[in-house]
A and B are shown apart, each in its own frame.
Chain A
C-alpha cells in the first residue's frame, strides 16, 4: 500500500506554496479550534461516485413492487420497472442489472433514507450545488466543494498529486455548464484547493504531460532555461516578496507534478489489460479505474461522475427503463471492481467510497407530495402506451439511495427504510445532506463544526456547523 500519510506539519512543508498562497493572500483563516477536538479519522481518502442527473432508487438500489411493461397498464401502478435480485446479504435486495454490486454489498452500507431538500422548481444543478457544497444556492459567498474542504483542511496525501481530483465531467459546452462550475470549485479557498478536472479518463495523462507536440526533453530543457533566466534577472531584490516567492513555488509545484513518477497513475493505458477491460464499460468505468490508480498514488479526494448533461444519462425525463438498463451496465461492473481492487490492495479500510446522487426519481411524483415543483416529465400519460412511458422520470426528493464502502463504515449493513407504496418517502432514519456530509467529514477526521472566517463571518464545513455524523453507520471500535 502506498498511503504515505503526511503529518500536518510535513504537509505544510511539502506544500509551502499552497500554504504561502493562502495564508498570504488574505484567504480565509481557520478559526480557533473548538473545545471539542477533531474526530479520529477512519479514512484518509475519499472516492465519491457521483450519479449525476438524479438516480432513481426504485430502479437501482431500492426495489419496490415490479410491474412488467405492457401496453395499457396504468402508470400509477408502477413502482419499479426492474425485478429485484438477491445479494450476498440476506436482507438487501437490489434491482436487476446490479449483479456485480450485489456481490460486494457485504463490504459496505446501503442507505435508503437520504432525504434532500425540495428547492421548488427543480433544477439539477441547484441540487447538485447543494449536495456538493452543503449549502443551498444562491449564496452570498463562493462556497467550496466538499472535495475542496477536505483538500483545504487535510492537504494532499502526496504533494505530487493534487488533493482534489474531479473525473468525468465536461465543464464547457452545454446548457448548465456555468451552473456546474459554480460548485465545481475551491470557492473561497481559492484554486489551490479547487478541482483538478479530468473530464476524459483516457485523456487524463495529457493533463500531466508536456503540452501536445512537445517532447519531454524539450519540456525539461525549457524549464531549466527558465530557471537560468530567472537567476540572471536583476529583479533579485524582490525575492523577499511574498507575491514573488509564492509565484515561483507554485511554478515549481506544477513542474514537480509534471515530472514526478506519480504521473503514471494518470495513464490508464499502463494498467494491465485484464484489469483495464474489467473496468472498461465506458467513461465512467475508466473513471473508476483512474480513481483507483490515483488513490493508490496518494490523491486525497476523488470524484468520478457519470457526467451531468441536461436530459442525458440518469437525467431521464422519458424512456427511463431503457436508459437505466444502459446506465446500470455502465456502473455495475466498475464499482464492484473498484471495491474489490481496493480491498485486495489493503486500501479499503482507509478509503471511503461513497455513491450518491442529487435526488431520486419516481414515476408519478415531482418533488415530494405537496411540492410546488413543476412536472418535468416528457412522457406524460395515464397508461403505458410505448416504452418511453416506462421508467422513472419525475424528480423525487423524499428518499434516495446512497452507498458507502470502506473507511470505517459498517459492512453488510442496510440503513433506513422507505415506504412500500407510493409516495415512496423515507419511513425510518432519514439522513440529510448536512448529516451525510458530517458523516463523511467525521470519517476523514474533520469536525462538521470546522469553520473558516469569510468576510469576518464563520463559514462551516456543514451548514451553520450543525451537521451531525451518523455514528451508527460506523463499525464498532472505529
Chain B
C-alpha cells in the first residue's frame, strides 16, 4: 500500500523559461530526498533512535541536532563527518554520506535550516480505503427514523453527543427540494398543494415527483456537470478550437439519467460526441510539460472521478499525498498517441511513461493494445465494482450539493478522513447496488430526515478534523439558480437558447407548470451578472462555487445594469399580470414566489411602505430588489 505523507509541500512547478540559478538551499528538492534516504528510517515517523526526531524542524531543534546557521556546531554535521565508526551517522552498516551529500546538509544548516512550513515526515494517520465496504446499518433509534441514513446519523449523533436539528416546516422544505433538485423555487400552486396535503408520505412523494421532471432536472444539473467536465468552455486557448464541447451528449445523458458508471465510461473511452472531456484543451504555443493534453486527461480523471489531486504529481512526486510522477504519467500514457517523455518539473527525465492505473490492485491496462482498447480498459478499471473510490467520490459530491458540506471535505480531497466512514461507505454501496442511478441516490438522501431537517447556523466555517456533522448547512444560490429564480419570478427569461446550444430542446413533460417552462440560464451564454456571481469560464475543473457574496458582487446587485433592467421589465410584467392588485396583494404575490412563504405583519408593513400608496412599476421594481437581496432569497435554507 502506498505511503501517505501528511505534508504541505512543494511549489507548483511552473515553466522556468527565465530560470535563474537559485543559490539558496531548496529544502524540498535537495534536502528531503536525502533525509528520506539516509535518516528517515531511524529518526522519523515513530522511530526515534537516540530520542532524535527529524519529523519537523521544531523536533529537530528540540533534539539539538542542528544549530541553524552554524553547521560546524551542529550535531548532524559532526556525526555525518565523523571518522569514528561508533559516532558516525548513518551507522556503520550503512553507506556513509558522499562529500556532496555532506555539503548539502552543511549548506542547509548554514542557510538557517529552511523547512517547508507544515511539512512533517510523519505520515498522516488516515488512509482512504479503496474497496467498497458493506456497512452494518445500526437499528433505528425511534419509530419513524428507519431510513438507513438516519440510522447511521442517529448513531453518529449519539456518540458525538449531538442533538439532531428539528424537522423543516413544509414551506422551507418545499423550497429546498425544488431549488436543490431543479434549481428553481416551487410555484405558488405547488407550494399550496404541498402544505395542504395531509398525506404521511408527502415529503418522499414530492422528492420523487420533482426528480421525475427530467427536463428541469437536466437544465439545472447541466451547470454542475459543465463545471466538472470543463464543458461550455470558452476560456483561453479556445481560439485554436482546442476544446470540443460535449453539450449534446451531456444533455442527453442527464435527460435519460444515464447510469453513472456508463456515463463515466463514455467520457473515458469516448464516442465523437463525448470525446471533448478526454481530449482536453489544446493550447497555442509552448506549454509547461505538466499541461499537455495527456496530463490534463490524467489530472481530470483523477480529480473528477476520484477526488485525487494529480496536479502536484504531474510535475514531481507529490508531497501532499501519495501520488507519484509515475501515476500521473501512467494515466496520461493511456491516452497518448505516441510514447510520452516523462518530465520532472518541466525537464525531461529521459524516461518514457509506462501505462499505469492509479489503483493497480484493481487490474492492469495492456500497454501494447491500441489506444481505443487501452481507454476501454481504463474505463473498466475506473468503474470497476471493487473501485469504492469511484462511488465514494460521487456520493460525496451529491451529499455536498444537497447538504452544503461533504462527508469528506473538501470534495476534491478524497484522501481526507470522512466525518462518518459508515455513512460514506453505506452510500457508496447503495449507489453501486442501485445501478449507479444518480436520481435514485439523490432521492435516497433527500428522503432522509437528515436532509429534511433545519439548517444549522454556523458562526464560522469549521476546517480540519474537528468537524462534527450536526445537520444541513445553508447553501448559497449559484449564479444560475439566482438568475433562474429571478427570471421565473419576473417572467423575464430569454425566448431562445444560445447558438452554442445546438439542436431542439426536449419538450417539458405533461403537467409541468408553465412558470417553469422557460429557457434556463444553462442554455444561454453567461452574462455579466452571472459571470460576476461566479459562473466560471472553466479553465480548470470546478467542483464548488464561491460560498460567499463578495463586495464587488454585491455592487453588481446594487447598481449593475443587468439586474436593474431585469427587475424593471419584471415589474412591468407583474403589474400587467395583476392589473387590479392592491399593494397588499402584490406584496404577498412576490413573497410567495420568491421566498415560498407569506409575509408576516412586519414585513407586510415594510413592503407596503416600499410600494407607496399606489404600486407603480418603479415601486414594484424596488420591492423586487429588496426581496431578492434578502439572504433568505439568496440562500437555500
The chain A residues found within 8 Å of chain B, CB to CB, are 17-18, 20-26, 31-32, 34-35, 115-123, 125-126, 129, 135-142, 162, 172, 175-176, 178-179, 181-182, 190-192, 194, 196, 207-214, 218-219, 221-223, 225-226, 228-235, 237-244, 246-248, 250-251, 253-255, 257-258, 373, 432-435, 453, 455-460, 463-466, 468
Contacts and interface: CB of A to CB of B under 8 A. Distances in A.
Nearest to B618: A218
B552 A196 contact: yes
Contacts of A211: 559-561, 564
A253 B554 contact: yes
Contacts of A243: 458, 473-474, 476, 547-548, 631, 635
B377 interface: no
Given A218-B622, A254-B555, A457-B320, A178 B18 contact: no
B463 A254 contact: no
A159 to B, nearest CB: 10
A32 B119 CA distance: 12
B627 interface: yes
B474 A226 contact: no
Contact of A250 (B234, B286, B312, B548): B548
Nearest to A458: B11
Interface of B is mostly: loop
Most chain A beta-carbon contacts within 10 A, residue among B112, B235, B544, B559: B559
A26 B476 CA distance: 14
Given A229-B603, A463-B14, 9 more contacts: A117-B17, A119-B285, A191-B546, A211-B559, A213-B564, A250-B549, A456-B8, A457-B9, A458-B8
A171 to B, nearest CB: 9
Interface residues of B, number: 96
A244 B457 contact: yes
Given A233-B630, A434-B18, A119 B286 contact: yes
B223 interface: no
B461 A25 contact: yes
Most chain A beta-carbon contacts within 10 A, residue among B473, B537, B606, B634: B606
A189 B290 CA distance: 23
B550 A35 contact: no
B412 A225 contact: no
Contacts of B118: 31-32
23 contacts: A26-B463, A35-B112, A119-B17, A122-B285, A123-B284, A126-B283, A138-B237, A139-B291, A179-B236, A181-B235, A181-B537, A196-B552, A211-B559, A211-B561, A212-B561, A226-B630, A235-B632, A243-B473, A250-B550, A254-B555, A254-B558, A456-B9, A464-B11
B238 interface: yes
Nearest to B476: A243
A238 B551 contact: no
Contact of B537 (A136, A140, A178, A455): A178
B455 interface: yes
A210 B564 CA distance: 10
Given A21-B550, A247-B549, A453-B8, A464 B17 contact: no
A232 B606 contact: yes
A254 B286 CA distance: 42
Contact of A247 (B284, B455, B631): B631
Contacts, number: 293
A323 to B, nearest CB: 23
A181 B531 CA distance: 10
Nearest to B409: A26
Contacts of B550: 18, 21, 190-192, 194, 250
Given A140-B311, A212-B561, A225-B606, A230 B236 contact: no
Contacts of A240: 457, 459
B600 interface: yes
Interface string B615-637: 00010001001110111101101
B460 interface: yes
A121 B474 contact: no
A226 B410 contact: no
B413 A456 contact: yes
B22 interface: yes
A136 B320 contact: no
A138 B600 contact: no
Given A118-B17, A140-B540, A141-B12, A244 B635 contact: yes
